[in-house]
Amino acid sequence: MNYRYLAFGSLFLIGSFPSTLLGETCKPTDPTDTLCTLNVAQVRPTQFAVGSVAVACKARKIGEKSKKKLQKYLAKEKRRIPAVIGPDGHFYMADHHHLSTALHQATSTEWDDSDKVLHIKILDNFRTNNAAQGEFWNTMIETHRSYLYDNKGIANMNFALLPADVSGLLNDPYRTLSRWVRESCGYVKAGKEQCDGIRTDHEHKAPFFMEFHWGNFFRDKLPLATKDLKVCQSTPYSKTCLDDEVAQLKGIYDKSMALAASEDAKKYFEAQGLDPWDYGFNPSGKHVQLEWSGDDKSCEEPVTQ
């Protein structure tokens, strides 16, 4: 494994050690398994949408951190960004789009955009492999490192339409709803501590893009009200078209929890050739309660016993 560190000068003269050492800036020639850093604006998304309400809540929490705590937060291994270097030399993130978008949106009086530094792990380098762009994207799809559905759940979008950075990601309200259901264990994702007491006889995994799959299931069953405008046929979840997003999502939350435990959910995944148990199917209906914070009461927190 290759981890390059910046020189910080004479730390003993300063009298204290920094909370974390930033890796050296990533380069297009970096080999697989390199650990390095990049500003969030330099990493390209491999999906079209995020749950904007969920992102705004995470951005608020990030903005409350001191500069030192921000560095420690981003340096945690679980927040390391898996990235692939494309044939064009750009860095494409394979996960953590919500974290990256929240960091991009976050504001603070203690730090600025130059401090929005992601810790990167290079999964593969297609530039040094001399791969063609089409070959690169075929591999990204086959290895589940890209999710080419738009924010309305339409599949097989052209990768050329992906935004150049996370600021261009679209809003998918059902991805926010899916997060709420996940946090309350309506479906069980491996590693969620609050769900440790809510298990079935089956193994629950954490498949790629599982939150989006559940979001698409809810989309089919629980439509949101949008304005009757022509533009809303193509952009139903924009601020122009979707009124009271948080209120609407809360209005269908209980129904989504019931649907997650239903036979319809099991059949939905089976129809796509997916194992519903891998995707956390929880027919027991057991869950944890959520409490809400933030100015619009949109930021969920599990109520743990």
Q: Which CATH number fits domain 11-170: 3.40.50.720, 3.90.1530.10, 3.40.50.300, 3.20.20.140?
A: 3.90.1530.10
Q: What is the pLDDT of residue 160?
A: 94
Predicted confidence band of residue 190 (pLDDT cuts 50, 70, 90): confident
Beta bridge partners of 39: 117
Predicted confidence band of residue 305 (pLDDT cuts 50, 70, 90): low
For the stretch 62-111, pLDDT in tens is 999 999 999 999 999 999 999 999 999 999 999 999 999 999 999 999 99
From CA 87, how far away is CA 143, in angstroms rounded?
17
Compute the mean pLDDT over every residue in the chain, rounded to the nearest whole number.
Answer: 91
Phi-psi region of 144 (alpha: psi -120 to 50; beta: other; left: phi over 0): left
Give 261 or 198, the one with higher predicted confidence: 261
Predicted confidence band of residue 281 (pLDDT cuts 50, 70, 90): very high
- Domain ranges in the chain are 11-170, 173-302
The answer, yes or no, to whether residue 16 has pLDDT greater than 90, is no
Single pTM value for the model: 0.89
